[in-house]
Structure 1
Amino acid sequence: MDTDHTSPGSNQFVTLAVIGCGQRGKAYSKYALSSPHRCKVIAIAEPRPNTRKNFATLHKVDDTLVFSTWEDLLAASAETINTIGKRLADAVIIAVQDHQHAEVTAAFAQQGYHILCEKPMATSIHDCLQMENAIREAGVIFGMGHVMRYSPYSKEITQIVRSGTLGELINVVQVEPVGHYHFAHSYVRGNWSSQSHSSFALMTKCCHDIDLICNWFSPATPVKISSFGSLKHFRKSAKPYAAGDATRCLDCPVEKDCPYSAKRIYLDPLAQGNTGWPASTIVDGIPDLENVTEALKNGPYGLCVYESANDVCDNQVVNIQFSNGCTASFTMVAFTSAICDRQTRLHFSHGEIIGDMINYTVNDFRKRTSKVHHPTNEGGGHGGGDTGLIRSFVDAVGTKDQFLLGTDINDVLKSHLTVFAAEASRNQGKVIDCISFEDEARAAYTSSQA
């Protein structure tokens, strides 16, 4: 059971509809199982039949509220609103593919649902601005899947930043070590491998890193940004000569020596009893030897990483100057043994914080002290950030108080525009003025609506 203290007056029971019952939909909805006195999943929409059935069974969702598409759920909701004046649920968790976020968010916001949307906000500036308008017009609670804000680790560091005990925050250095096989799974073979089908890697993987950095420096805002990056390794020119004409790992003569072997990533852990990520994401339902092998023989997850149709950066750096003269640098790199355990250094006028998402050390120059802190991981992904976010969202919906999320649609849009500006810098080879970039983006959107 959830033992964390909730905010005063936040015990109103909240009903949830989950749209997209994959990895992220499952991660957020676990809170309804651990804290049934706080919330319950009462409706779902999911196109994959086995995934839909398993999710509905787990949450005991009535058959009449199980839908194969979000459009069907929306239509059923519209019918209940028209007939009895009531929505199917209080809030929706939107965990569909990134390019669908804007359309689904706008549709359910219009019906008055409070919304928790998985990151990123959307895959184009136009869609982000459309979402902003939809949320503002509806006046609903909006949560963004920037889970890193909500882990005990990040919350403790943020509290130190806000307290001023180490003086003014002057510089942040953050590294996102994606992980060699994680990158191969998600950004070479997977759903986020193609800019045209999803978006660029800095957006799909690192938008919450940029958001966290912006949050630490707030109320200062980004004014200038530059970025460099490339797809350096995961391309055909890097394919081992000994692999010959093989295009799939199961047929490759050098598969055993390849760190990106699909057999090594999916089948070997499965043989050890691991039916969770990543094998669970490549099949519909519970992974087993038969269906995972079939997926590797015929689907994208069995392709050689050097023969895949990926086009997103596997390494990228970003430099940001803020309105108060302070600076930050961020690095995203695929080639690491660490899997998403960010390495962070925060430099203050009177101290520093050095952390790895598990522990952090505070060096106080004035007191001449150094202390290691070990935040409690309460369970859930992203160091407890998944749990922290959904709990904060339920609190906010239960009290109708956006403040409990610690952010709002304006903050979310601002950090996303910063990511778009960084990618514009990488593509154009120049420093981008963030203020002008936002002004031009808003002008273009307004023009498109005329």
Structure 2
Amino acid sequence: LNPIRTIIIGAGSRGNTYASYSKSHPDEMQVIAVAEPHSERRCSFAKEYNLNAEQCFSSWENAFKQASLADVAIIATQDQMHVAPALAAIKIGYHVLLEKPMATTKKDCQILFTAAKKSDKLFGLCHVLRYTSHYQKMKEIIDSGLIGEVITIEHLEPVNYWHMAHSYVRGNWRRLEESSPMILAKSCHDLDLIRWFADSPCKNISSFGSLIHFKENNAPEGSSHHCISDCAVEKECPYSALKLYMNMNLTDWPVSVITNDLSKKGREKALWEGPYGRCVYKSDNNVVDHQVVSMEFQNKVTASFTMSAFTDGHRRTRIMGTMGEIIGNFETMTLSNFRNQKKDVVWEKCEMDEMNHGGGDFRLMKQFLKAVIENEPTLFISSIEASLD
């Protein structure tokens, strides 16, 4: 079989991650075009994937003016820019893989759903956590009946203090008006997991959260507007841009996001001129830094979800059933069996789980491409129906 020809719409961090699957699996996927408005990013992507000028476009509109260039369109634009290119891709006749979240409003989600259902092509969402071995094992245990009937789910998304500073205080998702609510931008993964585990539509929901810490009134005395500008408290500040971006041994994400020039001079220039050098207390961010959600599902399962910036480490999940309990933290997973009073480690992290999103990014790509090749939507569990629910 020939590799699936793929066009990437948006050559940022996520677009590059999905495109990189083609390097590890050239027999399954071939990147044949890219649409990216940022010229340096577009040129860098073209060089990485050996694309000529005719295969590179400054906008998705230009890319989609032509007849279908590929088999699959991967839409990895910013949150508020998902709907238009996805609709255009559907109209042309592409199989579509859309980065989460599907859209930022209920109306737009419904518009995409209607368009996708009229198409005879696949439409999938990048809810990559479903494809991690950790959460697939958890789902397997739930479905086996080993812990009996699921009663309660607890889930924590520890955003991590440095990730909060990078993406949601200084970065592209810092402002509600330009992106989406943080609970959607960061945690639609987690809400999708909870719905998957509960295996029932949500009946009732309540949520509370706010921006408390990353505001100017909390700026320490002696802090400057930029960490690089003789800040008196930089060395003791956990959110220092110098600590995060000026370690010259680090070249991957998140450092790779701030500039294409990763030399010391290039990084310093980015911290002076771009948003990533700003003091976290003097940025223009307005998304929450903590939020909780309580849910009741139609089958009476209850769930609680916490998202917090003030954390370190991996997601933590507890599934409480009538006959047992599962506790997982992306390092290990334990199963307490009430029937025999035994507690066993049933999953431990392996080398594959060290990759992006616990290996979920590449496992999702493999499964989506398989579903395209076999023209079988049921092979891809992160469907548009699941996302809309």
Find the residue that maps to 1:275 and give its secondary structure.
coil
Once the two structures are superposed, the pairs formed by residues 27-42 of structure 1 within 5 Å of their partners are 27-42=17-32
Asked if the contact 2:175–2:287 (Cα under 8 Å) also holds between the matched residues in 1, the reply is yes
Indicate the percent of aligned positions where both proteins have the same amino acid: 41
Partner of 1:99: 80
Partner of 2:331: 358
Residues of 1 paired with 2:349 and 2:123: CA distance?
Answer: 27
Whether 1:43 aligns to 2:33 is: yes
Q: Structure 1 unaligned runs (5+)?
A: 1-10, 79-86, 415-450
Residue 104 of structure 1: how far off its partner (Å): 0.8
Partner of 1:56: 46
Partner of 2:375: 400
Residue 54 of structure 1: how far off its partner (Å): 2.2
Partner of 2:58: 68
Whether 1:282 aligns to 2:258 is: yes
Q: Which amino acid aligns with 2:40?
A: N
Aligned partner (choices 340, 344, 348) of residue 321 of structure 2: 348
Find the residue that maps to 2:288 and give its secondary structure.
coil
Q: Which amino acid aligns with 1:254?
A: V
Q: Which amino acid aligns with 1:368?
A: Q
The ranges of structure 1 where at least 4 consecutive aligned residues each deviate by more than 3 angstroms after the TM superposition are none
Residues of 2 paired with 1:178 and 1:250: CA distance?
Answer: 25
Aligned partner (choices 142, 145, 150) of residue 164 of structure 1: 145
Once the two structures are superposed, the pairs formed by residues 413-428 of structure 1 within 5 Å of their partners are 413-414=388-389
Whether 1:376 aligns to 2:343 is: no
Partner of 2:208: 228
Residue 120 of structure 1: how far off its partner (Å): 0.9
Asked if the contact 2:261–2:267 (Cα under 8 Å) also holds between the matched residues in 1, the reply is no
Asked if the contact 2:271–2:278 (Cα under 8 Å) also holds between the matched residues in 1, the reply is yes
Residues of 2 paired with 1:45 and 1:289: CA distance?
Answer: 29
Residues of 1 paired with 2:340 and 2:139: CA distance?
Answer: 20
Residue 399 of structure 1: how far off its partner (Å): 1.0
Whether 1:388 aligns to 2:363 is: yes
Aligned partner (choices 194, 205, 216) of residue 213 of structure 1: 194
Pick closer, same or farther for the CA change 1:249–1:375 going to 2, 3 Å: closer
Residues of 2 paired with 1:48 and 1:291: CA distance?
Answer: 17
Q: Which amino acid aligns with 1:179?
A: N
Asked if the contact 1:13–1:398 (Cα under 8 Å) also holds between the matched residues in 2, the reply is no
Asked if the contact 1:19–1:92 (Cα under 8 Å) also holds between the matched residues in 2, the reply is yes
Q: Structure 2 unaligned runs (5+)?
A: none
Residue 377 of structure 1: how far off its partner (Å): 4.4
Higher helix share: 1
CA deviations over 1:267-323 (Å, ceiling 9, x no partner)? 1x2x2x21111111111x242212221111111111111111111110110000010
Aligned partner (choices 283, 299, 312) of residue 337 of structure 1: 312
Partner of 1:428: none
Q: Which amino acid aligns with 1:346?
A: I
Whether 1:125 aligns to 2:106 is: yes
Partner of 1:247: 225
Residues of 2 paired with 1:55 and 1:357: CA distance?
Answer: 31
Residues of 2 paired with 1:398 and 1:212: CA distance?
Answer: 26
Residues of 2 paired with 1:36 and 1:64: CA distance?
Answer: 21
Residue 375 of structure 1: how far off its partner (Å): 4.4
TM-score normalised per structure 1: 0.83
| Cα RMSD after superposing both structures | 1.3
Residues of 1 paired with 2:143 and 2:382: CA distance?
Answer: 15
Find the residue that maps to 2:360 and give its secondary structure.
helix
Find the residue that maps to 1:394 and give its secondary structure.
helix
Asked if the contact 2:333–2:348 (Cα under 8 Å) also holds between the matched residues in 1, the reply is yes
Whether 1:307 aligns to 2:282 is: yes
Partner of 2:121: 140
Find the residue that maps to 1:250 and give its secondary structure.
coil
Residues of 2 paired with 1:407 and 1:19: CA distance?
Answer: 20
Once the two structures are superposed, the pairs formed by residues 322-333 of structure 1 within 5 Å of their partners are 322-333=297-308
Pick closer, same or farther for the CA change 1:299–1:375 going to 2, 3 Å: closer
